[in-house]
């Protein structure tokens, strides 16, 4: 059983109340993002003026001082529009919110805003800015604002003010699963204090330091004592009416509440919420892609893979030479994987192991980290695998060994984004509803890559693939591509 907090621990936690941080995450993020937006626009404006002077472009009817005043007057309009679009509040509400999530919003607001300013100045005859000047300012703004927002977020996440104390209401299987996910991602800034549950389940692995803080009736008091800012409701055994009453009380205490929905196994994080007579409904669309959506996805694959193969060709040559010098040929490793529609294909990778690595697999089976207690026998992973070469370790650390799969993408065997490409032994364990994961081509990256790679259990990986396929969107693919970069350099899993 998860241990119940003792009197000594209660005293320690109560003592922390005196060090409560008044400036919370929302206060910090709103001001930092606002400052970064203003700085981004100022940088773009200054560079645009410098570029115009350097190129000798025609000067507008307004001098620099007048343009600067007009620019300053327009800035509050951006702040209001960004506020209405939610660009200053989502970091506080969404634990996993990142700069890639607001790229589209920033792009849209910047584009529409500059277009409106252009039309407005022409209609009112206040100015007649050159198209080239507006284009330069737009391009610089689209780059500068998201970049400075990313730097602002990075700075905030190093501050103690960014942390949110949180408790999980419900210490059953789902509550413990939520806790493990939060503990695995400290970058979310969620300081998990413990569980609220009178009848907790047997404690699972990785939760040793978390305790049962009390029952449902203790929650309002614990929120005040422990300075809790977030409560996650995860299938509590308490009476529904009692839970609703407590949640209303938490609203009065200015606490953010997250609710794990029923049937979350089939609900995508991008699920649509609509309503009937004031009752919110979660919309689960039929998991099928229209021909136009498949065509759009394939266009992204062809253009992205072709451009990647051309741009990265010098890198390919250097890596191939390094592999050949250290361990000889072959430079590439080919392996049969299961593709879309139960059609197999040979995946292409840079070779990172010794040439007889497959023959040694059985001899090293005892080193498989999934063979012990709590492991997943469906997966094979050896930490510090002795078969990996020195060059191979470098390639794996930055996922450079995966780059040749761009050729698989160009051939139509894979996609830039998609489900994880499984070997046949692993695919044999995919049954029933999970087979829908290969309604789309396997991906060079995907939710499994971004959220943890080999650290994700097999069953969770299959569920993520299913959610990806059932909730596919073009914007989602672009977001996952952008999120892959920090995930790779953060070295999550492998």
Cis amide bond preceding 330, omega within 30: yes
Of 227, 251, 283, the last residue of a domain is: 283
* Predicted pLDDT of residue 410: 96
373: in domain: no
Burial 230-257 (b: 16+ CB within 10 A, else e): bbbbbbbebeeeebeebbeebeeeebbe
Q: Can you tell me the distance from the alpha carbon of 152 to that of 149, in angstroms, rounded to the nearest whole number?
A: 5
DSSP per-residue string spanning 74-135 = HHHHHHHHHHHTTTTTHHHH-TT--GGGGHHHHHHHHHHHHHHHHHHHHHHTS----HHHHH
pTM of the model: 0.69
User: Rounded to 5 degrees, what are φ and ψ at 254?
Assistant: 60, 45
pLDDT computed for residue 21 by the predictor: 39
The string of DSSP codes covering 249-289 is: HHHHTT-EEEEPPTTGGG--TT-EEEEETTEEEEE---S--
Which pLDDT belongs to residue 412?
94
d(CA 358, CA 350): 15
How many independent structural domains does the chain possess? 3
Last residue of a domain, one of 260, 283, 306: 283
Residue 125 sits in the same domain as residue 266: no
- CA 438 – CA 418 distance, rounded (Å): 9
* Cα separation, 315 vs 395, whole angstroms: 12
225 in the same domain as 170? yes
pLDDT, tens digit only, all 494 positions of the chain? 455 544 544 554 454 444 443 457 888 888 999 999 999 999 999 998 888 777 765 555 566 777 788 788 888 888 898 888 888 888 877 777 777 778 888 888 888 888 887 777 777 776 666 777 888 889 999 999 999 998 998 888 888 888 889 999 998 888 998 998 888 888 888 999 999 988 888 777 778 688 889 889 889 999 888 889 999 999 888 888 888 898 888 888 888 899 988 887 777 776 777 778 778 887 777 667 778 889 999 999 999 999 999 999 999 999 999 999 988 889 999 999 999 988 999 999 999 888 877 777 766 766 666 555 555 666 666 667 778 888 988 888 888 999 999 999 999 999 999 999 998 888 888 888 888 888 899 999 998 888 766 667 788 888 888 888 888 888 889 888 988 877 776 654 44
Q: How far apart are CA 253 and CA 226, in angstroms?
A: 13
Domain hosting 112: range is 25-156
The residue assigned the tokens 């300053």 is: 72
pLDDT at 317: 94
Residue 56 domain-assigned (yes or no): yes
- Tell me which of 228, 248, 283 is where a domain ends: 283
The answer as to whether 108 is a domain residue is: yes
The answer to whether residues 383 and 369 touch, using CB atoms and an 8 Å cutoff, is yes
Is 149 domain-assigned? yes
Residues 320 and 272 in one domain: no
């Amino acid at each position: 059983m998860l241990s119940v907090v003792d009197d000594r621990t209660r005293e320690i936690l109560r003592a922390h109340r005196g060090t409560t941080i008044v400036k919370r995450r929302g206060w910090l993020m709103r001001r930092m993002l606002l400052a970064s937006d203003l700085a981004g626009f100022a940088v773009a404006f200054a560079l645009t003026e410098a570029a115009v002077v350097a190129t000798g472009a025609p000067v507008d009817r307004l001098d620099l001082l007048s343009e600067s005043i007009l620019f300053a007057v327009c800035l509050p309009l951006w702040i209001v529009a960004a506020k209405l679009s939610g660009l200053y509040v989502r970091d506080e509400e969404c634990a996993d919110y990142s700069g890639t999530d607001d790229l589209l919003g920033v792009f849209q607001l910047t584009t529409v805003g500059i277009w409106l300013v252009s039309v407005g100045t022409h209609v009112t005859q206040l100015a007649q800015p050159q198209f080239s000047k507006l284009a330069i300012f737009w391009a610089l703004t689209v780059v500068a604002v998201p970049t400075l927002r990313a730097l602002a977020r990075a700075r905030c996440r190093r501050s103690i003010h960014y942390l949110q104390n949180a408790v999980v209401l419900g210490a059953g299987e789902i509550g413990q699963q939520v806790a493990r996910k939060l503990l695995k991602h400290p970058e979310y800034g969620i300081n998990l204090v413990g569980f609220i549950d009178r009848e907790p389940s047997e404690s699972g692995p990785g939760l040793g330091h978390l305790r049962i803080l009390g029952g449902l009736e203790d929650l309002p008091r614990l929120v005040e004592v422990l300075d809790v800012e977030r409560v996650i409701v995860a299938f509590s055994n308490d009476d529904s009416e009692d839970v609703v009453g407590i949640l209303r009380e938490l609203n009065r205490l200015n606490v953010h509440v997250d609710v794990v929905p029923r049937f979350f196994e089939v609900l995508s994080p991008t699920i649509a919420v609509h309503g009937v007579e004031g009752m919110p409904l979660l919309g689960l669309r039929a998991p099928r892609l229209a021909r136009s959506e498949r065509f759009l996805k394939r266009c992204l694959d062809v253009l992205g893979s072709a451009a990647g193969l051309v741009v990265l060709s010098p890198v390919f040559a250097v890596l191939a030479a390094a592999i050949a010098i250290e361990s000889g040929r072959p430079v590439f490793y080919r392996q049969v994987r299961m593709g879309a529609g139960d059609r197999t294909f040979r995946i292409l990778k840079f070779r990172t192991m010794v040439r007889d690595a497959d023959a040694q697999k059985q001899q090293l089976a005892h080193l498989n980290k999934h063979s012990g207690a709590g492991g997943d026998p469906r997966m094979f992973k050896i930490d510090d695998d002795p078969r990996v070469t020195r060059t191979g370790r470098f390639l794996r650390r930055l996922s450079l060994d995966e780059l040749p799969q761009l050729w698989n993408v160009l051939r139509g065997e894979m996609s830039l984004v998609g489900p994880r490409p499984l070997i046949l032994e692993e695919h044999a364990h995919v049954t029933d509803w999970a087979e829908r994961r290969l309604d789309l081509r396997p991906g060079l990256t995907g939710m499994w890559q971004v959220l943890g790679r080999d650290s994700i259990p097999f069953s969770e990986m299959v569920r993520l693939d299913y959610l990806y396929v059932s909730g596919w969107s073009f914007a989602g693919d672009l977001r996952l591509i952008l999120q892959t970069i920090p995930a790779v350099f953060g070295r999550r899993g492998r």
